[in-house]
Amino acid sequence: MDKIKKVPEIRFKGYEGEWNETPLYEYLSVSNEKNTSNVFNKYNIYSVSREYGVINQIEYQGKSFAGVSLTGYGIVHTWDVVYTKSPLKQQPYGIIKTNKTKNGIVSALYGVFTPNEKVDSNFVQTYFELDQRLNNYLRPLVNKGAKNTLLISDEDAIKGNVVFPQKEEQEKIVKMFNSLDYLIRKLEQKLEKLRNIKQSLLNQMFVNVNGGGTLR
């Protein structure tokens, strides 16, 4: 992004003019919707992963870490934006992801935000996938408490400035990155298959004399 003009170095053809620098609350609003009627149970609890985004806690971690009551959990709808106030090594102020799966609930450690008509919420996640950009955005907003806890309200979490294009250009950018992510996943799957083939061949194409039998 140019320091004087808010224009990216690489851009799709057909788009001109500067991107808009505004507080994030111009695109997102705090959601205070809670699971007071217990519509959702422990099988609908989500966590946020740096690598995988918003994920089902039981499906990915094998168990739920919830207490007995889930009435205080926040409801997160599909395409809502979720901010986890848990520090990670590369993201010491937390991470911001978009819920691309079904409706569910998250604990009070998460902020939930509803996108308005001016933003593609997938673009929000893509925008913050660069650690440096994410950390630079959150650093001025977050206070750190005892044991490295992050002290920040949901309202304050969207007070920082972002630089976004118009929604049509957002959608174009998101589509490109989604295509790249798809190709990466396919290549990773192919790489894992090749590793398994190699391991199998190492095991079966040699005579094992020290211990006998097929090695595992």
pLDDT, tens only, 180-209: 999 999 999 999 999 999 999 999 999 887
Between 106 and 68, the more confident residue is 106
Amino acid at 116: N
pTM equals 0.87
Phi and psi torsions of 207, nearest 5°:
-90, 125
**pLDDT (tens digit, 9 = 90+) per residue, 155-172?**
999 999 999 999 999 999
Q: Does pLDDT of 178 surpass 70?
A: yes
Q: Does pLDDT of 214 surpass 60?
A: no
Specify whether the CB–CB gap between 169 and 12 falls below 8 A: yes
Q: Does pLDDT of 216 surpass 60?
A: no
Candidates 134, 104, 138, 98; CA nearest to 33 is 104
**pLDDT (tens digit, 9 = 90+) per residue, 108-125?**
889 999 999 999 999 999
Residue 83 three-state SS: strand
Q: Does pLDDT of 212 surpass 70?
A: no
Spatial separation of the C-alpha atoms in residues 122 and 124, rounded to whole Å = 5
Specify whether the CB–CB gap between 23 and 161 falls below 8 A: yes
**pLDDT (tens digit, 9 = 90+) per residue, 77-99?**
999 999 999 888 899 999 999 99
pLDDT at residue 118 in the model: 98
Q: Count Cα neighbours of 111 within 13 Å in the Cβ-side half-sphere.
A: 20
* 126 φ/ψ sector (left φ>0, alpha ψ -120 to 50, else beta): alpha
**pLDDT (tens digit, 9 = 90+) per residue, 23-79?**
999 999 999 999 999 999 999 999 999 888 999 988 888 877 787 789 999 999 999
pLDDT at residue 10 in the model: 93
- Name the band, by pLDDT with cuts 50, 70 and 90, for residue 131: very high
Candidates 58, 9, 15; CA nearest to 169 is 15
pLDDT at residue 65 in the model: 76
- What is the CATH code for 20-164? 3.90.220.20
Candidates 33, 29, 145; CA nearest to 85 is 145
pLDDT at residue 96 in the model: 97
Q: Does pLDDT of 1 surpass 60?
A: no
pLDDT at residue 61 in the model: 80
Spatial separation of the C-alpha atoms in residues 133 and 141, rounded to whole Å = 14
